[in-house]
């Protein structure tokens, strides 16, 4: 084998290796781009959901602002004696 053929064979091997590396990098790039797009869509959906919940909360607050508490509960400045109003007894550790 001549020196030119040896150099050509080495260059072809290097080219094949680099082509494989480039293909792998392109596949990873496409996967990352897909992930970014998917996450952006999810963030947009969540932003929309949060906005909808906020507007629904405001709407309900306006609708019920003059009704008072139908069960007669109000924020108590003192601790109620009834266990039902206080909630479960705290656990000791």
pLDDT tens by residue, 36-49: 999 999 999 999 99
Rounded-to-integer distance, Cα 9 and Cα 16, Å: 11
Rounded-to-integer distance, Cα 64 and Cα 10, Å: 80
Q: Is the pTM of this model over 0.85?
A: no
pLDDT tens-digit profile of 3-24? 999 999 999 999 999 999 999 9
Rounded-to-integer distance, Cα 36 and Cα 30, Å: 10
Q: What is the pLDDT of residue 63?
A: 84
């Amino acid at each position: 084998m001549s020196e030119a053929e040896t150099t050509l064979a080495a260059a072809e091997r290097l080219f094949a290796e680099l082509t494989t590396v480039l293909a792998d990098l392109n596949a990873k790039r496409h996967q990352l781009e897909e992930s970014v797009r998917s996450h952006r869509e999810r963030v947009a959906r969540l932003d929309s959901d949060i906005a909808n919940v906020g507007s629904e909360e405001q709407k309900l607050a306006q609708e019920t602002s003059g009704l008072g508490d139908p069960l007669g509960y109000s924020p108590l400045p003192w601790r109620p004696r009834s266990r039902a109003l206080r909630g479960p007894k705290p656990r000791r550790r």
